[in-house]
Amino acid sequence: MSKIGFYIALPLLYFISILPFSLFYLLSDLLYLLIYKVVGYREKVVYENLKNSFPEKSHKELKEIEEQFFHYLCDLVLETLKTLTISKKEALRRCAFNENAIAIFKQLNDEKKSCILVMGHFGNWEWAGSSFSLLNSQQLYVIYHPLSNKYFDTLMYNMRSRFGTKLYAMKDTMREMIRNRHEINATAFIADQTPSPEGAYWTTFLNQDTPVFWGTEKIAQKLNYPVLYATVNRKKRGYYEVNVEYLVKNPKDTNEGEISELHTRKLEKDIIAQPEIWLWSHRRWKYKRTLTIQN
């Protein structure tokens, strides 16, 4: 999209963002009808991912999850736009950290310990980042892929940083974390993206061979930051609760692959419990494991 196109679209995006929630979710319902019932956006990708992940489920069960996912995807897209204008009070009301999560981050801050926070594209990770920065004392850094369109990239950066969150471009993560090692902070890794198959950690995830980024584990071991896993559960439409638990307190003491396996198993458990709020439209399994046969 050109610069002119972006600035034409911008007022519409802000208009959607300021809609009251009743109209906001009505618009989401209309968007669902358009992208799923009319356009069929990535319907084949979603169904194939579901079928391979849940081979025990019937066609009817898979289609029910598919429909629920597309309803949720539309909510998620518009909820992300809502971060343009949402108030601090409303942000905390809509995405709360439970007492256990608050206690863990308070303890880490009191002990002057930085940490690594691992999560997936599960629930509203965007709202979770905003609430973290409003509730906790640590500086939150989120790792992200800059968008190719510089105008939308700036818009997304500003949305994510409204309440104090800071961002690392993925390629700069290690350098920036080392640079900020004297600060008490939390760095959030979205760990279910698809890495290049060469050099990835391979495991079985949702019944399929799956490559996982080594970065989360390798950086945790190098800096010896405690590794925590965050779950963003949807309690009902438009409301979320974040829970956090320790995966590893001393990464230097772990074996190769241990941290990667732990956060992958946690995410898998979350997805099985609430499959409709994971990002099934992502081509997570576009690569296949290459097996080396030895004589």
Residue 156: how many CA atoms within 13 Å on its side-chain side? Answer: 18
Look at residue 89 and give its three-state secondary structure. Answer: helix
pLDDT bracket for residue 295 (50, 70, 90) = very low
Task: Report the predicted TM-score, pTM, of the whole model to 2 decimal places.
Answer: 0.93
Distance CA 170, CA 133 (A): 20
Residue 141 lies in a domain: yes
Domain count, the chain: 1
pLDDT bracket for residue 224 (50, 70, 90) = very high
Residue 232 lies in a domain: yes
Residue 286 lies in a domain: no
pLDDT bracket for residue 5 (50, 70, 90) = confident
Per-residue pLDDT reduced to its tens digit, 138-165: 999 999 988 888 999 999 999 999 999 9
Residue 113 lies in a domain: yes
Residue 288 lies in a domain: no
Residue 117: how many other CB atoms lie within 10 Å? 26
Domain of residue 179, residue span: 3-277
Distance CA 85, CA 163 (A): 11
Look at residue 292 and give its three-state secondary structure. Answer: coil
Residue 291 lies in a domain: no
pLDDT of residue 294: 37
Residue 100 lies in a domain: yes
Residue 20: how many other CB atoms lie within 10 Å? 8
Closest to 270 measured CA to CA, from 38, 53, 106: 53
Residue 294 lies in a domain: no
Per-residue pLDDT reduced to its tens digit, 168-204: 999 999 999 999 999 999 999 999 999 999 889 999 9
pLDDT of residue 184: 97
